[in-house]
Amino acid sequence: MTKMIILDVDGCLTDGKITYYEDGNESKSFNVKDGLAIRTWLRMGNEVAIITGRKSAIVQRRAKELGITHLYQGVSDKATLTRELSDRLGIALEDIAAIGDDLNDYGMLQIVGSSFVPNDASRFVKEVATTILECEGGRGAVREMIESIVDQDGKEEAFLAFWR
């Protein structure tokens, strides 16, 4: 039974594009459908963590907006942090699902109970993933992941209860 999901940002929560402006700011686009699914997952009493290799104020803002308290930016070893988070929260690795799209997600995807990759992920991470999603990163991949977990765990009624 999945109790926590771990999300990568660039290429999963976003399409992987980063736009830089002359004033030094940057922009990313997030999918609102992913956001609603994440908030519903949290309302069900589950945990969500963002583990990303980059640092961005935009990601901090999005995490706060969604109510995600486990935010880790600038992480070079996602597998080690995943193990530490598992120990700290008392959630077994087999009860954790993660989504990643590139080589820096490889180790993390290997150690969790369920691993998901967007359709446009690196072929190397596709080889270790338990599920290759139909959606591309930033285009509803996280939503698809959450709905897949909800179906797999038989939690459809709990997921929909907030919206009836």
Q: What is the pLDDT of residue 8?
A: 98
Residue 143: pLDDT band by 50, 70, 90 thresholds?
A: very high
In whole angstroms, what is the distance from residue 15 CA to residue 137 CA? Answer: 5
In whole angstroms, what is the distance from residue 158 CA to residue 138 CA? Answer: 25
Q: What is the pLDDT of residue 121?
A: 98
Q: What is the pLDDT of residue 83?
A: 98
Residue 23's CATH number: 3.40.50.1000
Q: What is the pLDDT of residue 58?
A: 96
Average pLDDT over residues 29-48: 98
Q: What is the 3-state secondary structure (H, E, C) of 66-120?
A: HCCCEEECCCCCHHHHHHHHHHHHCCCHHHEEEECCCHHHHHHHHHCCEEEECCC
Q: What is the pLDDT of residue 22?
A: 96
Cβ neighbours of residue 39 under 8 Å, at least 6 residues apart?
Answer: 66, 67
Q: What is the pLDDT of residue 20?
A: 94
* Tens digits of residue pLDDT in 56-68: 999 999 999 999 9
In whole angstroms, what is the distance from residue 162 CA to residue 9 CA? Answer: 26
Evaluated on CA atoms 81, 82, 83, 87, the torsion sign reads positive
| Domain, as residue range, for 126 | 4-161
Q: What is the pLDDT of residue 160?
A: 97
Average pLDDT over residues 9-23: 96
Q: What is the pLDDT of residue 69?
A: 97
Average pLDDT over residues 107-123: 98
Looking at every residue in the chain, the average pLDDT score rounds to: 97
* Tens digits of residue pLDDT in 86-105: 999 999 999 999 999 999 99
Counted domains in the chain:
1
Q: What is the pLDDT of residue 21?
A: 95
Q: Which amino acid is at 73?
A: Q
* Tens digits of residue pLDDT in 145-156: 999 999 999 999
